Amino acid sequence: MESFSLFFIYFMSLILGLVIGSFLNVVIFRTEKDMDFGGRSFCPKCKKKIVWYDNIPLLSFLWLGGKCRKCGKKIHWSYPAVEMAGSLLFLLAAFLVMNGGLNNFLSHYGTTAGLLKLFNQSPTAFNLHKFSFIATLLELVFLWSVFATSLAIFVYDLKHMLIPDSFTWMAIKIVAVFNVVSDSLLMLNIFSAKNQSLLMSVSEFAGSKTALGFNWLSEFFGIEEKTFLEKAIYLKSISGRYANTVVEGSALQGYFIDSTPGKIINFILETRTGSGLIIGLILALIFFAIVFFSKETWMGMGDVKLVFFIGFFLGALKGLIGIFLAFELGAIFGIALIVLGRAKMKTALPFGPFLLAGMLLALFVS
């Protein structure tokens, strides 16, 4: 993508992240007070309504000097902090999507090919660019939504050592919609008669993006299904994420042609929904056992639902990496607090923030 449009997307991400961060402050506050979400924003101290120009994310905090205009009471630092965190997370999401960071499965080019099929469009260069861009927007909105809900969970757990069910359910619903939509678009390719040529065009397009070259791909599609996976492993070792997508797409077709039980399991694991559900449920069971046997002393039911969401979102491989990193981070942080004399062995820490930090780091593992 041209550098100007990339810059535009990153800039818009920063601004939108600020606005959503500001909205999350309201959601968190009103969930704490068990209020509904209608009506204007007001100062939590003097209860007076806040005029629109005093309600601009970050900027208003700065020009009001961090104080309410009406009563002069200090505005808590967590408000601008959440806005800035939202801004940075939205930028990070854009960076990940623009660099194929969501393509751990078939997602991007499977979605692109599926959209072409759905709208009955031929894979011309123009259409490929157009539908690839639509797929990118879809991924961007998805990752922004996941990051926004995660930020709300992070802040709430940090403040109250509690994760509201409504937050986790919202996160799970967002992932469910995206997983099912992208898998459906993928299936549309695999189960349709003309999928081979369509998928080839899209693969070619994907390949050209990584300078893999058409020769590679045509040779790749010419070989027998038996050697598919060997070739796939080799291609994976020498090429970037976009090529992975092509390789996995071809491998998927291979799985479908030869439907022995082992291949069907592999096939399920290649889909976002299948992989996510399996690892989400396994993680939730393990965490439930920990909560049950430790009698909620160092983890709660909120964490059980949270790890289901993380597994459902990240899928098998990254899901496990994310949880592993969460335990590492928790241990390092806990030891650091004890060494610095800020905590004792029995000081309780909320585990949700570590789980979410692990999830974020796992997204950067390819």
Which residue ranges make up the site for Zn ion (CB under 5 A)? 43, 45-46, 68, 70-71
Least distance from Zn ion to the Cβ atom of residue 182, Å:
46
Query: What is the Cβ-side half-sphere exposure of residue 45, based on CA atoms within 13 angstroms?
Result: 10
Give SS3 for 71: coil
Give SS3 for 35: coil
Using an 8 Å Cβ cutoff, are 245 and 205 in contact?
no
| Residue that is written with structure tokens 């099912």 in the block | 180
Q: From 232, 249, 245, 319, select the one nearest 284 (Cα to Cα).
A: 319
Is the Cβ of residue 68 or residue 284 nearer to Zn ion in the bound state?
Answer: 68
Cα(62)–Cα(28) distance, rounded to whole angstroms?
21
Give SS3 for 67: strand
Least distance from Zn ion to the Cβ atom of residue 68, Å:
3
Is the Cβ of residue 70 or residue 76 nearer to Zn ion in the bound state?
Answer: 70
Cα separations in angstroms, 60 against 76, 77, 82, 83 = 13, 13, 14, 12
Q: In the 3-class helix/strand/coil scheme, how is 155-205 assigned residue by residue?
A: HHHHHHCCCCHHHHHHHHHHHHHHHHHHHHHHHHHHCCCCHHHHHHHHHHH
Least distance from Zn ion to the Cβ atom of residue 48, Å:
6
Give SS3 for 55: coil
Residue 149: phi and psi, rounded to 5, are -65, -40
Using an 8 Å Cβ cutoff, are 113 and 133 in contact?
no
Is the Cβ of residue 76 or residue 209 nearer to Zn ion in the bound state?
Answer: 76
Cα(329)–Cα(41) distance, rounded to whole angstroms?
36
Least distance from Zn ion to the Cβ atom of residue 75, Å:
9
End-to-end CA distance of the chain: 21
Least distance from Zn ion to the Cβ atom of residue 49, Å:
10
Is the Cβ of residue 67 or residue 129 nearer to Zn ion in the bound state?
Answer: 67
Is the Cβ of residue 45 or residue 236 nearer to Zn ion in the bound state?
Answer: 45
Is the Cβ of residue 15 or residue 46 nearer to Zn ion in the bound state?
Answer: 46
Least distance from Zn ion to the Cβ atom of residue 41, Å:
11
Is the Cβ of residue 79 or residue 313 nearer to Zn ion in the bound state?
Answer: 79
Is the Cβ of residue 30 or residue 209 nearer to Zn ion in the bound state?
Answer: 30
Least distance from Zn ion to the Cβ atom of residue 42, Å:
8
CA 238 and chain centroid, separation: 26
Burial of 208 (0-12, 13-18, 19+ CB in 10 A): middle
Least distance from Zn ion to the Cβ atom of residue 159, Å:
20
Is the Cβ of residue 45 or residue 130 nearer to Zn ion in the bound state?
Answer: 45
| Residue that is written with structure tokens 């607090």 in the block | 337
Using an 8 Å Cβ cutoff, are 274 and 268 in contact?
yes
Least distance from Zn ion to the Cβ atom of residue 67, Å:
8
